[in-house]
């Protein structure tokens, strides 16, 4: 499993647990998902992807 897939799995699990506990409403998750789709469509996610990759490589010391 790649590091990106592991991060996606962890974020999905945390989101699921927050919705289940009532801390996060389903409509809030939907809005955040739509924001993510929008950011991906307008290519604003490239700096975010680079920052997360840099952070993950720094924490795991892989290059």
pLDDT in tens, 41-52: 777 778 877 888
Q: What is the pTM of this model?
A: 0.50
User: Measured between alpha carbons, how far is residue 37 from residues 13, 31, 48 in Å?
Assistant: 19, 10, 13
pLDDT in tens, 8-55: 788 778 888 888 888 878 888 888 888 777 777 777 778 877 888 888
Average pLDDT over the chain reads 79
- What are the b/e assignments for 21-60, b being 16+ CB within 10 Å? eeebeeeeeeeeeeeeeeeeeeeeeeeeeeeeeeeeeeee
Report the alpha-carbon angle 60-56-20, nearest 5: 115
Q: How far apart are CA 49 and CA 63, in angstroms?
A: 16
């Amino acid at each position: 499993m790649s590091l990106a897939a592991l991060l996606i799995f962890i974020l999905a699990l945390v989101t699921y647990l927050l919705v289940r506990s009532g801390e996060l409403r389903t409509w809030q998750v939907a809005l955040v998902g739509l924001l993510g789709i929008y950011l991906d469509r307008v290519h604003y996610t490239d700096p975010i992807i680079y920052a997360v990759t840099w952070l993950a490589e720094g924490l795991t010391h892989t290059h």
